[in-house]
Structure 1
Amino acid sequence: MTGRILSGWTLTRGITFLVYVFMFVPIAAVVLLSFAESRFGSFPIENFSLRWFIELAGNAAIVRAFQTSMVLGALTSIIATAIGIPAAMAIVRYDFPGKNLVTTALIAPILVPEVVLGVALLLFLRWLAVPKSFALLLMGHVIITLPFVLLVVQARLVGIKREFEEAALSLGANRLQTFFEVTLPLLMPAVLAGMLFAFTISFDDVTATLFWKSAGTETVPTQIFAMLRNSISPEINALGTVMIVITVALPLAAGILARRFARGRT
């Protein structure tokens, strides 16, 4: 019996290892090819170079796409966090009619596939005769990222005892002072993490962005998609490497900042 269990675990580990190889080997290949000097990437790589990163920095279309993605991601994270904090406070701290309905509506975008959400919002705005714009794209990204911010902040808020807030109120502070001087500092690890997660999701989104962006507006993912449709350039590998670094680094930074901030508050 023990032998069967061990063989079962060995098989599970082997399958898991193969799945990870299948997932990450193409990513590793893109990163390695981005440093290849040759235009036609092949293995083994003979000469390593930063040529394609230099050409990438000189590509005006890609630079504009990066600027758009950075502005869009920053605004999305700020707005989603500004909405998510009071929404989480209302859900956790108060009871009101329709609370379950409001909670479901705020969380629903995370449960709906992005293609369905993108088409639905696009058709609704077409029905309202609202043209595509950067504001529409920003609104769509806020809808997508808001559930993540809400869940992160809500999870942190549940762990904050009401006694801290009640003590501040009993000492003469009003509710606004209590929030900014007691609740918000305790929430700050979740706020920082939520903002970075929202920025990462917005920066990396391509499916819904394709439906909502206006003509001439390109983000980094949609620019990669457009480049792949026209031709395969080594600059795509360099751009993919930059995207991988940003997508991986920001969530890690969010976790590190949240932990350090939490330690500083304890």
Structure 2
Amino acid sequence: MGWLLIRGWALLVYIFMFLPVAVVVMLSFNASQFGSFPMTGFSFHWFVELANNDAILRAFETSILLGSLTALVSTMLGVLASLALIRYRVPGSNLISTILIAPILVPEVVLAVALLLFLNALSLNKSFLLLLMGHVIFTMPFVILVVQARLVGIRRDYEEAAISLGAHPIQAFFQITLPLLAPAVFAGMLFAFTISFDDITGTLFWKPGGVETVPTQIFAMLRNSISPEINALGTVMIFLTVGLPLLGMAVARRMALQRGS
């Protein structure tokens, strides 16, 4: 009876969490412009309107560019930091690890305000570069955690064997270590892209005027009125932010199995 109650309670929690998401997805295919039930018909009209909205298309381009650059920079810095902290004896490595992981322990709104005040103290204006730096600071800890978890399981004997056979340490890294790390690197990159693409709290504080990402564009549209296009845009965001991590996990698992065989 106890386990039955726990399962029932867990089911209610899941329904409470995901029912609003399901409602948004359903209303995005509603033929009527009024978000109400029962639905008047099934239509892709609002997705067509979404594709013809120049402001939303610009926001998509900005989010994809920002997410891609964030994933690239976060992955490069995260891999280098993980190698330094795991493979080498760095003075104060525990303190450095804590500092690198701290951004995911601090509430994002606190981090956003702190970075904004720091930029104001330096008399730096908001720019796309500073927005990118803020996203890198927030996403890099996720890359470090994923890469470190994989790097701990890779024995250093492989690298030492390659070096003893005449390979340069850099050559050993690219030919031995990096292929073994590839699943974790790929997964960390997708996590960084997804988090950056979906972020709104930090972006609202850091973005310069005239630059809108998809989440901030949705927020701006909601301030005026609830348009059916918002439901369609929310559906696209849901599939992207859920589908990319699942795809990344599947690809990373396949790569790990291929390396293991």
Pair in the same fold by TM > 0.5: yes
Matched, 1:84 2:78: yes
One-letter code aligned to 1:144: F
Amino acid corresponding to residue 229 of structure 1 in structure 2 = R
Q: Secondary structure at the match of 1:161?
A: coil
Q: Does 1:205 align with 2:186?
A: no
Question: Which one of the candidate residues 248, 255, 260 is aligned to 2:254?
Answer: 260
Residue equivalent to 2:93: 99
Offset of residue 46 of structure 1? 2.5
Q: Distance in 2 between matches of 1:92 and 1:174?
A: 19
Pairs within 5 Å for 1:101-116: 101-116=95-110
One-letter amino acid of the counterpart of residue 183, structure 2: P
Q: Are positions 1:125 and 2:126 aligned together?
A: no
Which of 244, 248, 259 is the aligned partner of 2:242? Answer: 248
Q: What is the identity, as a one-letter code, of the residue corresponding to 2:177?
A: T
Report what 2:61 is aligned to: 67
Q: Which amino acid aligns with 1:79?
A: V
| Partner in structure 2 of residue 25 of structure 1 | 19
Which of 154, 175, 198 is the aligned partner of 1:181?
175
Shift in Å, 1:264: 1.5
Residue type of the alignment partner of 2:164: S
Give the ranges of 4+ consecutive aligned residues of structure 1 lying more than 6 Å apart after TM superposition.
none
1:11 aligned residue (5, 12, 17): 5
Following the alignment from structure 2 to structure 1, what is the Cα–Cα distance between the partners of residues 120 and 224?
29
- 5+ residue gaps, structure 1: 1-6
| 1:265 Cα deviation from its structure 2 partner | 1.1
Q: What is aligned with 1:156? A: 150
Determine the structure 2 residue equivalent to 1:215.
209
1:146 pairs with one of 136, 140, 146? 140
Alpha-carbon separation, structure 2, partners of 1:46 and 1:38: 6
What do the CA deviations read for 1:26-85 (whole angstroms, capped 9, x no partner)? Answer: 100000000001000211212100000000000000000000000000000000001011
CA distance in 1, matches of 2:7, 2:251: 32
Structure 1: distance between partners of 2:151 and 2:94: 18
The yes-or-no answer on 1:232 pairing with 2:226 is: yes
Taking the aligned partners of 2:237 and 2:160, their CA distance within structure 1 comes to: 45
Task: Tell me which residue corresponds to 1:57.
Answer: 51
Q: Secondary structure at the match of 1:142?
A: helix
CA RMSD of superposed structures (Å): 0.7
Residue type matched to 1:139 in 2? M
Unaligned runs of at least 5 residues, structure 2: none
Residues 207-263 of structure 1 show CA distances to partners (whole Å, capped at 9, x for unaligned) of: 111000011100000000000011110000000000000000010011011011111
State the SS of the aligned residue for 2:49: helix
Counterpart amino acid of residue 30 in structure 2: A
Give a deviation string over 1:166-218, Cα, whole Å, max 9, x none. Answer: 11011000100000000000000001000000000000000111000011100
Of 40, 44, 63 in structure 2, the residue corresponding to residue 46 of structure 1 is 40
Distance in 1 (alpha carbons) for counterparts of 2:105 and 2:90: 24
Secondary structure at the aligned position of 1:95 is classed as: coil
Percent of aligned pairs sharing the same letter: 68
